[in-house]
Amino acid sequence: MFLIIGFRTTVEGVLLACLKLRQLPDAHLMYAEGLEELRRMIDFAGVERDIELVGFEPAPITDLAESAFGKHWDRHVSFSRRKEPDPIHYIDLVLRHANCEPSELVRTLSSSENVTSLYSGKTQLQKRCYRYMREVSLSYHRLCMFARPSFVKGILTADIKPEHRIEDMFCRWLAKKNPDLPVAVVHGDKAWIGNGDFFGLDRFVVVTPSFLGDLAAIKISDEVEQLWDVYYDSQMIDSRRNKKQAKKFQPKAASSVSGMSMKDRYKVERGISPCKLGDFFEM
Amino acid sequence: MRYLASGTKYDSCNQSAVCHAFAPDGRCIQLYKTLLTNYCSGECTYCPNRCERDTPRVSLSPEEIVKITWSFYRRNAIEGLFLSSGVIGDAENTSEKQLEVARKLRAQGFQGYIHMRLMPGTPKYLLEEIADVANKFGVNAETTSSINYSEVCPNFDYSNDVLQRLKWTKELIIEKRKEVGYGGRIIGANDTQFVVGAASESDREIVRTVDKFMDKYDLRRPYFMSFDPVPDTPLEHNAPSPQWREVRLYQTSYLLKDYGLKAKDLDEIYTDTGFLKDRDPKILLAQCNPEMFPIDVNNASLQELLLVPGIGPVSASRIIQARPFNCEQELARMGVVITRARPYIKIKGRCQTNLSAFMEACS
């Protein structure tokens, strides 16, 4: 039988499509974020073959992961001391990648005989998925390290421009780090609010930045940036700088995450100027 | 703040940016590293804060440190505090002040990382209290033996003030880890720091001491701080330790920590006087044992793979999982640095031709 598997681009959808593809290895794959979108695509393509839709109904993820990767799917895969994410988290991270092609991911998963081949696959496709997972993970880690939220009307707000779809992950991380404050992560015309219960909202909600502006709260002054410069500059011994190592810690790719990290990167590249405008006036 | 933060820059390992640590999820985190005070009753010969040195003396109150830490933490500039200090009178008094900072932070709901650098001679009861609030705590060994220690830190006793404390911290770490269990508060492993080049110890001695500490005190990671002569100290005219020495010592310590080697396995890589050369110790070790190579990546054990330059613990475990391999590209996908590994490996009977093999074939 010639079939099309239509799946939703969620972890459940991908796992269900993977299981289906193992039963029907010749099937074609189509995907969408919602059922309506998929139906439109099917109509547009004028497909008249059998179509199996999966992932549009809630399904137990752990059971699906067990069916796909066996009983020990959740056993920690670690190479040396680097602990890798479990397959569910792995799929979630790959799906967040800007270049992710979900049907490629489904094919990779369906051809992975065991869990470890997801992390140490020899084929190009397996390697690409692994690379996507690492890139998203790295991008998230960089945000956690280099984003510098500031207080906007009493809300700890970070304005970010991540290359992958990780805004909600970062918002959750920021909310966990500051459980006693409302936090917001703004990207373009969307804002993610964490610890929203301070405003009588859900714990995590997605709103527009204009809505964020309506949330009145106290204004907290912020003079930390200057203090940080004093601290950062005091830590350096110019003659002993390990520039190569410093560049690794303060990568160029992360310098655009915030103004403070851009300044720190500048100091890594150019050194810390011993002469400042203030010194001129003190003379 | 500037004085006290800059007081810590001399023990900033591998001068790169501000002090870093690694979170359990693998993320690199920045720390606010400061001294509580640079008043010190110690006379350590290399230290910029030694009591006899004429330098501006300042202190921050626990409240001030708490305030600065919170400010940086909220802006996400740091994820923790690294607190050290000069010795104010005695170790007990100093540790009490350090403890006060950590307690205040925790009482205000601070969930970040706290690393406490303990004073030599800190009493056991205070160590126990520090272990309740800090994520990591350790005492600096500074050097390799009592004789060297009495030379550089004349006010303290190596076996009692340092080794005894290392033993206690090891016991406390085991106890606290059992208490908090998996998923609880992070309790970092025992750590210590060596000042490289202040005393006359060789690299061989340092590596052997590190190995001994790993066995005896569960030392996870040693830190090395290159000696840099500070004006107006007894060692001001000594030559600074070259920066590469610190880097090579770190690389050698990783061979002990992550590659399962022992100090005696590394005897061949030192110069006659027991110092490391300015070359990658793993490559030197491989070159000193040519009879072991090339190894067949499809049959070699994990230990054998770990000896190959360009193959680290992560890629070695991956190779074991994903064997057999047919070509170098597949190995490269496992994270192997092929240009380094090529002379030392064999894939499906094929290996790089070297001069001796070429000569053999010609004859």
Whether A38 is in a domain gets the answer: yes
Tell me the average pLDDT across A256-264: 85
Q: What is the pTM of this model?
A: 0.84
What is the reported pLDDT for B94?
93
Tell me the average pLDDT across A222-229: 82
Q: Which domain covers residue A175, as residue numbers?
A: 148-214
> What value of ipTM does the predicted structure carry?
0.82
- Looking at every residue in chain B, the average pLDDT score rounds to 89
Question: Taking a contact as any Cβ pair under 8 Å apart, which residues of chain B between 261 and 320 contact chain A?
Answer: 312-318
Whether A86 is in a domain gets the answer: yes
SS (H, E, C) chain B: CHHHHHCCHHHCCCCCCCCEEECCCCCEEEEEEEECECCCCCCCCCCCCCCCCCCCCCECCHHHHHHHHHHHHHCCCCCEEEEECCCCCCHHHHHHHHHHHHHHHHHCCCCCEEEEEECCCCCHHHHHHHHHHCCEEEECCECCCHHHHHHHCCCCCHHHHHHHHHHHHHHHHHHHHHHHCCCCCCCCCEEEEEEECCCCCCHHHHHHHHHHHHHHHCEEEEEEEECCCCCCCCCCCCCCCCHHHHHHHHHHHHHHHCCCCCHHHHHHHECCCCCECCCCHHHHHHHHCHHHCCEECCCCCHHHHHCCCCCCHHHHHHHHHHCCCCCHHHHHHCCCCHHHHHHHEEECCEECCCHHHHHHHHC
Tell me the average pLDDT across A42-60: 82
Burial label for B134, CB within 10 Å (0-12, 13-18, 19+), is buried
Pairs of residues, one from chain A and one from chain B, whose beta carbons lie less than 8 Å apart: 140
What is the reported pLDDT for A2?
58
B84 contacts chain A (CB < 8 A):
no
pLDDT tens figures, A182-194: 999 999 888 999 9
Do A69 and A131 lie in a common domain? yes
Q: Which residue has the higher pLDDT, A116 or A100?
A: A100
Partner-chain contact A149 B75, CB within 8 Å: yes
Do A244 and A187 lie in a common domain? no
What is the reported pLDDT for A234?
81
B16 contacts chain A (CB < 8 A):
yes
Q: Which of A126, A141, A156 is the last residue of a domain?
A: A141
Whether A220 is in a domain gets the answer: no
**pLDDT classification of B350: cutoffs 50, 70, 90:** confident
Tell me the average pLDDT across A17-34: 90
Tell me the average pLDDT across A26-34: 89
Do A8 and A81 lie in a common domain? yes
Q: Which residue has the higher pLDDT, A233 or B194?
A: B194
- The pair of three-digit structure tokens given for residue B221, joined into one six-digit string: 């990671």
Task: Select from B128, B139, B253 the least CA-distant residue to B192.
Answer: B139
Reply yes or no on whether the pLDDT at A1 is more than 60: no
pLDDT tens figures, B42-84: 899 988 889 888 888 889 999 999 999 999 999 999 999 999 9
Partner-chain contact A224 B75, CB within 8 Å: yes
B125 to chain A, closest Cα gap in Å? 31
B228 contacts chain A (CB < 8 A):
yes
pLDDT tens figures, B277-321: 999 999 999 999 988 989 999 999 999 999 999 999 989 988 998
A156 contacts chain B (CB < 8 A):
yes
**pLDDT classification of A219: cutoffs 50, 70, 90:** very low
Whether A183 is in a domain gets the answer: yes
Tell me the average pLDDT across A84-103: 93
Partner-chain contact B317 A79, CB within 8 Å: yes
Distance CA B303, CA B313 (A): 9
- How many percent of chain B have pLDDT more than 70? 93
Beta bridge partners of A28: A4
Whether A54 is in a domain gets the answer: yes
Comparing alpha-carbon positions, the chain B residue that sits nearest to A124 is: B333
Tell me the average pLDDT across A105-117: 85
Least confident of A178-192, B59-73, B175-189, B261-275: B175-189
Beta bridge partners of B118: B139
pLDDT tens figures, B189-234: 888 999 998 888 999 999 999 999 999 999 988 999 888 888 889 9
Tokens 């305030």 belong to residue: B67
Do A130 and A158 lie in a common domain? no
Q: A155, A228, A272: which to substitute to probe chain B, counting the most B Cβ within 10 Å?
A: A228
DSSP classification of residue A185? E
What is the reported pLDDT for B195?
92
Do A203 and A96 lie in a common domain? no
Partner-chain contact B26 A82, CB within 8 Å: yes
Reply yes or no on whether the pLDDT at B87 is more than 50: yes
What is the reported pLDDT for A218?
47
**pLDDT classification of B13: cutoffs 50, 70, 90:** low
Q: Does residue A65 sit in helix, strand or coil?
A: helix
pLDDT tens figures, B157-166: 999 999 999 9
Q: Which residue has the higher pLDDT, B123 or A41?
A: B123
Q: Which of A109, A141, A173 is the last residue of a domain?
A: A141
What is the reported pLDDT for B221?
87
Do A154 and A258 lie in a common domain? no
Do A68 and A129 lie in a common domain? yes
Partner-chain contact B325 A122, CB within 8 Å: yes
Whether A221 is in a domain gets the answer: no
What is the reported pLDDT for A193?
92
Least confident of A155-159, A172-176, A257-261, B110-114: A257-261
Tell me the average pLDDT across A161-186: 93
Q: Decide: A185 and A174 in contact? Cβ < 8 Å.
A: yes
Do A49 and A91 lie in a common domain? yes
Do A33 and A131 lie in a common domain? yes
Reply yes or no on whether the pLDDT at B16 is more than 50: yes
pLDDT tens figures, B310-349: 999 989 988 998 888 998 988 998 889 999 999 999 998 8
Query: Which structural domains are found in chain B, ordered by start?
Result: 2-281 (3.20.20.70), 289-362 (1.10.150.320)
- Looking at every residue in chain A, the average pLDDT score rounds to 84
Give backbone dihedrals phi and psi of B361, rounded to 5 degrees, phi first.
Answer: -65, -40
Distance CA A158, CA A152 (A): 9
What is the reported pLDDT for A80?
57
What is the reported pLDDT for A168?
94
Reply yes or no on whether the pLDDT at A135 is more than 90: yes
What is the reported pLDDT for A69?
84
Reply yes or no on whether the pLDDT at A76 is more than 70: no
What CA dihedral angle connects B120, B243, A252 and A158, to 10 degrees?
Answer: 10
Reply yes or no on whether the pLDDT at A35 is more than 70: yes
Q: B75, B81, B314: which to substitute to probe chain A, counting the most A Cβ within 10 Å?
A: B75
Give the total number of structural domains in chain A: 3
Least confident of A94-108, B8-22, B88-102, B110-124: B8-22
Q: How far is CA B214 from CA A52, A194, B220, B342, in A?
A: 58, 43, 6, 32
Reply yes or no on whether the pLDDT at B113 is more than 60: yes
Reply yes or no on whether the pLDDT at B268 is more than 80: yes
Do A23 and A104 lie in a common domain? yes
Reply yes or no on whether the pLDDT at B2 is more than 80: no
Whether A24 is in a domain gets the answer: yes
Q: Which residues, including other chains, have CB under 8 Å from residue A194's CB and lie 6 or more apart?
A: A171, A172, A174, A175, A182, A183, A184, A185, A203, A204
Reply yes or no on whether the pLDDT at B108 is more than 80: yes
Q: Which of A84, A113, A141 is the last residue of a domain?
A: A141
Reply yes or no on whether the pLDDT at B168 is more than 90: yes
Whether A203 is in a domain gets the answer: yes
